[in-house]
Amino acid sequence: MRYFVIIAVILSVLASSYGVWITQSLQTQIEEITTRLTQFEDEQRTLHIPLEGGDIALYFVKTTDTDFLLESVTRSVAETPSPLLALTLLLNGPMPQEELAPSVPPGTRLINLKIANDLATANFSEEIRTQFIGGAQLESHLVSAIVKTLTQFPYIQEVQILINGEIVESIAGHIVIDNPLSTN
């Protein structure tokens, strides 16, 4: 009888241990699937979540006799508005009839754009720095134009600007961009 009790206890412990192991294994798999699903949803939002009305706000520079002002321009687009499309339009610059100057230096290319957890990471080519001509005010307008263009999408709260895949302190030495930025 004693052997049956010992065997029963051992089987009970083994069964409990196996149950705990299975539960932990399933929990790990659920966490991995959840992470993958979140990444997939973030990637889909990068290209496919529309803004109401098919409009995109872009920001360019208005030059006056005494100042440089950041002006908002609304563009209606046939495609589904997306952060990628918005940045592409921003990099293309203003239309001639808008009578504005580009906020981003000509020749600047978007290397890639990633969106995850309300953060857009925009990776620009070196031209954003080497072709920049201006002082603190124009650098501020450049950074603000990028941040405002991206944060108009409700799933983007902050923007990290990279140059050639690297976090840099500043584009031209006036405005610090080494941390994520927001419009607040």
Residue-level pLDDT at 44: 57
More confident residue, 18 or 174: 174
Give percent of the chain above pLDDT 90: 68
* CA torsion, ordered 71, 142, 178, 118, to nearest 10 deg: 40
Q: Beta-strand (E) ranges in the chain?
A: 55-63, 68-76, 110-116, 119-124, 158-163, 166-167
pLDDT for the residue numbered 51: 44
Alpha helix positions (H), 111-170: 127-130, 136-151
Segment 138-153 shows an average pLDDT of 98
pTM of the model: 0.73
Task: Kindly state the average pLDDT of the residues 158-174.
Answer: 97
Q: Does 49 have pLDDT greater than 80?
A: no
